[in-house]
Amino acid sequence: MLLWKLIKDDRGGQILLALLAIAILLVPMLNALPADHALHLPTYTVALLGKYLTLALLALSVDLVWGYLGILTLGHGAFFALGGYVMGMYLMRQIGDRGVYGHPELPDFMVFLNWDSLPWYWMGMDQFWFAAIMIMLVPGVLAFVFGALAFRSRVSGVYLSIITQALTFALMLAFFRNEMGFGGNNGLTDFKDILGFSLQARETKVGLFVASAVALAIGYLISRAVIQSRLGKVCVAVRDAESRARFLGYRVENVKLWIFTLSAMIAGVAGALYVPQVGIINPNEFSPLNSIEIVVWVAVGGRATLYGAVAGALFINYAKTWFTTELPDVWLFALGAIFVLVTLFLPKGIAGLFRRKEANA
């Protein structure tokens, strides 16, 4: 009942959640069909779909701050990558003595660097519960500290966008360094299993897909709960007339800070689900370009609708997969063309199509 209240007036959200529910039921069934069956869904595709869903969750987190608060964040990839690194650390610890060097505790790259013990920040990462907390805590704390500094001093607009770029760029440079203890430019890879299930197994991939779909649904509902509350209205108020909100007595910086932190935590979860499905996390995930790309997904999907961000992320990433396999040289031009066309003809993005229909009905 409570959940229904959240999406009662949200046609796009209803469709999204219905599709996710269908996918959770149908994808494992189709994948379980014999390989020569016409409707068989290859395991490779399942993992790909799961990856798309985690990227959709990332886009959702960006829409929360950009669409509803007007903070154009160009560094959300950093929170995604941090969540991914925490998951990567957990997965590295799960390798145990099956690494190339066969060390019982140290990951291969540390043996290679002649380290003799685990750095303190790798402690506890062999416990899933601990890693699960850290997946949200690490991006959350970074966002909180960063936001507290930026929002208290009333940095906004282009300046804030530039600092978020700097943040993710600085993290990228830091993670490239071997002595940081995160595998340098190779990052973390060669994962074996998660929670005792082999990552190569078909069932694990299906399980990760389902987990991604569930995470996206939960992330959507949480974001929706925030947006529907009076806090969500204050967010829109801050976006449209910040000083008016201040003169009404709202502490604008606190509103921004908490929403930004929540968004970073969602992005962290998305990163953590992304890593086991693609099998690697390296510093390139921090690349400033990645963060800009997320903003493009949201813009294509339509700002301030939540489901639009999801649609945009799925659409662009599907297009990316298709183009990079069929016409690899054309992809960047195609992305540019999509962005230009959407800006020209669908200023409200893909979600704008929905809204027009709603308005006519």
Give least dist CB 233 to other proteins, A.
Answer: 5
Strands 193-194 and 280-281: unpaired
Q: Which is nearer to other proteins, 90 or 220 (CB)?
A: 220
Q: Which is nearer to other proteins, 205 or 239 (CB)?
A: 239
Q: Which is nearer to other proteins, 169 or 250 (CB)?
A: 250
Q: Which is nearer to other proteins, 225 or 278 (CB)?
A: 225
Q: Does 300 bind other proteins (CB under 8 A)?
A: no
Please name which of 53, 61, 221, 214 lies closest in space to residue 143, comparing C-alpha atoms. 61
Copy the structure tokens of residue 339: 């962005």
Binding string, residues 233-272; x marks residues near other proteins by CB under 8 A = xx-xx-xxx-xxxxxxxxxx-xx--x--------------
| Side chain identity at residue 11, one-letter code | R
Handedness of CA 109, 112, 115, 116 (dihedral sign): positive
Give least dist CB 231 to other proteins, A.
Answer: 4
Give least dist CB 304 to other proteins, A.
Answer: 8
Q: How many residues bind other proteins (CB under 8 A)?
A: 25
Give least dist CB 6 to other proteins, A.
Answer: 13
Contact yes or no for 259/67 (Cβ under 8 A): no
Binding string, residues 200-239; x marks residues near other proteins by CB under 8 A = -------------------------xx--xxx-xx-xx-x
Which stretches of the chain bind other proteins, using CB under 8 A?
A: 225-226, 229-231, 233-234, 236-237, 239-241, 243-252, 254-255, 258
